[in-house]
């Protein structure tokens, strides 16, 4: 894919550090993500990639450095933070659909309660989004009645219903049975080609190769490589990346 970014970057991390006790999970990480750019973050487990993703909407507070979103530093707490989060969609590894609400209610709750939209309008857009991710016929079921792949697509629709400026995906396919991975990646791929700004933590190398504008490789809390997919997969520069790729690509 060509360079799609224009103007100011949407997400900027500057010298971000975070410790979990003695563990340095984010070690001086700087990164910027342009509008419409799809950045895939890969790396061995424990490399800090999930923490990086969660720091962008402050589900994980950081110890030092700055993160700006759409030109504004992340608010520390309260209403401004809630407002920022409403503009950043988040998709979790374990779906986290609200267990006591139907699929449609899951998708309309945010727009109605947070964005104060009219229920009828939220419902109409919710149904359209469920249709877009291919589960309109599941609208009135509860999350537990759906397959993992359907639940994750519902979770993507829930995030999209807030009309976010960017979407964060924290290992969205890692909890899925293999035959359901494809349906979720299809939705994500179509989202990427529609120009959504995306940060995707994943182990799906195929997705990284064909849908990403850039691949970030992390190890031990450090951002080790930042390259185009072709460059990264064909000519990794660091030994850590070569080692990682040799382990996952041989099978």
Binding region for another protein (CB under 8 A): 57, 59, 77, 79, 82-90, 92, 94, 96-100, 109-110, 113-114, 142-145, 155, 158-159, 162
Q: Which residues are registered as beta bridge partners of 170?
A: 201
Of 70 and 87, CB closest to another protein: 87
Of 87 and 231, CB closest to another protein: 87
Tell me the closest approach of the beta carbon of residue 51 to another protein, in angstroms.
14
Of 57 and 173, CB closest to another protein: 57
Q: Helix 148-160 and helix 103-113: axis angle, to 10°? A: 20
Furthest-apart CA pair in the chain: how many Å? Answer: 55
Q: C-alpha distances in angstroms, 153 versus 71, 132, 213?
A: 30, 10, 22
Tell me the closest approach of the beta carbon of residue 79 to another protein, in angstroms.
7
Torsion, Cα of 67, 43, 87, 70 (10° steps)? 40
Tell me the closest approach of the beta carbon of residue 87 to another protein, in angstroms.
8
Tell me the closest approach of the beta carbon of residue 241 to another protein, in angstroms.
30
H or E segment and range at residue 96: none
Of 36 and 89, CB closest to another protein: 89
């Amino acid at each position: 894919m060509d360079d799609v970014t224009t103007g100011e970057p949407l997400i900027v991390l500057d010298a971000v550090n975070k410790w979990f006790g003695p563990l340095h999970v984010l070690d001086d990480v700087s990164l910027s993500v342009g509008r419409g750019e799809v950045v895939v973050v890969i790396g061995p487990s424990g490399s800090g990639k999930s923490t990086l993703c969660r720091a962008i909407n402050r589900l994980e507070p950081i110890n030092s450095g700055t993160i700006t979103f759409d030109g504004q530093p992340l608010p520390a707490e309260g209403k401004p933070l809630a407002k920022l989060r409403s503009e950043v969609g988040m998709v979790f590894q374990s779906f986290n659909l609200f267990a006591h609400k139907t699929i449609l209610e899951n998708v309309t709750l945010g727009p109605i309660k947070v964005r104060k939209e009219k229920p009828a309008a939220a419902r109409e857009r919710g149904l359209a989004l469920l249709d877009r991710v291919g589960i309109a016929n599941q609208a009135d079921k509860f999350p537990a009645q759906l397959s993992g792949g359907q639940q994750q697509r519902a979770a993507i629709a829930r995030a999209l219903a807030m009309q976010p400026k960017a979407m964060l995906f924290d290992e969205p396919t890692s909890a899925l049975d293999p035959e359901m991975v494809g349906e979720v990646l299809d939705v994500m791929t179509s989202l990427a080609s529609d120009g959504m700004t995306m940060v995707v933590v994943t182990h799906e190398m195929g997705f990284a190769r064909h849908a990403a504008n850039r691949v970030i490789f992390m190890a031990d809390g450090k951002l080790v490589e930042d390259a185009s997919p072709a460059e990264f997969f064909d000519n990794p520069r660091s030994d850590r990346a070569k080692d990682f790729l040799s382990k996952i690509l041989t099978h």
